[in-house]
Structure 1
């Protein structure tokens, strides 16, 4: 049994490790083909990490990515593909910013109100896809993609000055108005040059701990994983599969609602046309690379955040910033290929072990029969 656990642990690390090695090799090949020095690029990227301000930017971005990946991972553990995290967090952040700018409460209550509204909006938007799947059999992939488009249009309509938006004189930007200072989430100041780490980054780490505890130490988590592994088997054991599907989509959406909170409560204090987009799709990459494990997701979030922030000044040295995007795309491709190769190897390894155990049992039986 211990040996089996050891093999499973090795295979668990083999997938991400192989994916990173393949992505590194492919990135190097692409740079060589384009007549660029890959080692100079890698030197410049790692040089950026020595600057304290870049370190803070990486940590803050990683916290946001971590929440997005957790939202995706909850769906993955249920064998659901919630591709709508992007629309869920943007709509949640926008509505939460509207509420936060129009209501004034004592500090902790103001922050709690904004966070609760964001989670409720995210859960509601993801719940639409969950209801469509459980009642009409609509694929959650199709439903969430459509809901992403709808949320984009809905946000554009809500933020119009004729509705709920504000437009400063002489500016083309539209905002929801600024949240009062009582609703700002306190951060961890470092130095004047480095800035501060978003306070909500630590909340993101706490969400990862809750995610692990719920999935691995509760009956609900067991039912969720069992339903994801085999819906028919879960139903036969008394689990309401449809209820679990809807519940997991609601939880995934609620976590997605938190994705915009580090930026909203720690930096911009308003939702505008400049608010970050595309975080949900990055979360898919991170969840895959981290194999839906909170520690793996954290390391993957740091890696992707490193590529994002360390690549910003590359154009000053003759390298395009888009190289980091290419590297992230290569990581996605490498993850898919590497995990499939590791899965096939693991299957063959298990079959080999079963064959060896059967052969050993047959030999032992033969020896006993000979002795008799």
Structure 2
């Protein structure tokens, strides 16, 4: 039993670890080819990340990445590729900011209203792709990519001063959310403030694990993702599961903008973070759709984002961190395939060992006696 657990641990951790190692090695090769020190950039970023204020920034960034990656992971477990998380997250944040700025309620109710609006808008936008897939067979990859572009244009239109937005200098915003709609943070003094929504993000990860691994719905979702025909034969409505998964994925994507919106910006503007959904895809792949793996992946990518500015101050291009992120994506595919093949070989080896052990046991028992009787 212990041997099985050891093999399972190796297979689970082997892919991400191998991907990171390969990405570091390839980045070092790039540095060497450009005549740079292949080790110093990593040391500089690690030293920079030792400052408490940078650690707070990393944790805050990781909270947003974590929720975006969870949204992608829900789709992955259903064998769906929701590339539209970025559009769903930004549209949901914009709508939630509009509603939050236009009402005044007691604190908990105000925050709850903003969260509900964000989840509903995210679910609605991803649900369009789910309906297209279940009714017309449109690939969710194509539809979510197109919906990203539509969301970008729709947001740009709605934040115009003649619509729902207002001009502030050279920027356009949805207006300031009253303080009753701010999510309380964790004050660490001189280090800064950790978004209070980080705790909610962690709870979402726990809920994700419980639902997928401890409920009938989670079993049906995973079964449908593995084989929709087999799931249908066992009585599961595959189309309903596809639509439900897209709705849940979009709702979680809607929450991805809440750490920044409720913990820092308190408004949606043109400089609101973009590209978070695509980063979430990288993190979900790196974390193998497991909440703990996703958390570690979110911290790693957030570290690369927040520690890379120190490279500029020390004669290195901060794009080195971007190169490393891109190489991680490429290395993930290669490393997971390598680990998968290793797992197959290990299974074949274990089966061979078990068959050999059974044959040896048979030879030591009735086997020789039977051979004597036959020869007699």
Per the shorter chain, which TM-score range? over 0.9
Aligned length: 369
CA contact (8 A) 2:45 2:310 kept: no
Counterpart secondary structure, 1:167: strand
Please report how far the alpha carbon of residue 279 of structure 1 lies from its aligned counterpart in structure 2 after TM superposition: 0.3
Query: Structure 1 CA distance, aligned partners of 2:310 and 2:368?
Result: 77
**Residue pair 2:15, 2:339 contacting (<8 A) in 1 also:** yes
| 2:176 match | 178
Q: How large is the Cα RMSD of the aligned pairs?
A: 1.2
TM-score, structure 2 length as denominator?
0.96
Q: What is the alpha-carbon distance in structure 1 between the residues aligned to residue 22 and residue 323 of structure 2?
A: 14
The question of 1:27 aligning with 2:27 is answered yes
Partner of 2:290: 293
The partner residue of 2:222 within 220, 225, 231 is 225
Q: What secondary structure does 2:30 align onto? A: helix
TM-score, length-scaled by structure 1 = 0.97
Decide which of 340, 344, 362 is 2:341's aligned counterpart. Answer: 344
- CA deviations over 1:126-156 (Å, ceiling 9, x no partner): 1111111111111111110010001001101
In structure 2, C-alpha distance between the alignment counterparts of 1:134 and 1:40, rounded to whole Å = 52
Decide which moves more: 354-363 or 320-329.
Answer: 354-363
Q: Which residue is equivalent to 1:86?
A: 86
Q: How do 1:48-197 residues align onto structure 2 when only pairs under 5 Å count? A: 48-168=48-168, 171-191=169-189, 193-197=190-194
Q: Deviation at 1:5?
A: 3.3
- Where structure 1 has 5 or more consecutive residues not aligned to the other structure, the ranges are none
What is the aligned partner in structure 1 of residue 373 from structure 2?
Answer: none
Q: CA deviation at 1:345?
A: 1.1
Contact (CA 8 Å) 2:44, 2:310: kept in 1 or not? no
Listed as ranges, the gaps of 5+ residues in structure 2 are 371-376
Map Cα deviations across residues 74-121 of structure 1 (whole Å, 9 max, x no partner): 111111110100000000000000000111111100000000000000
- Corresponding residue for 1:271? 268
Note the C-alpha offset of 1:21.
1.0
Partner of 1:36: 36
| Deviation of the 1:359 alpha carbon | 3.5
2:210 and 2:164 map into 1 onto residues whose CA distance is: 40
Instruction: Give the conservation status (yes or no) of the 8 Å contact 2:20–2:328.
Output: yes
In 2, distance between residues paired with 1:354 and 1:232? 29
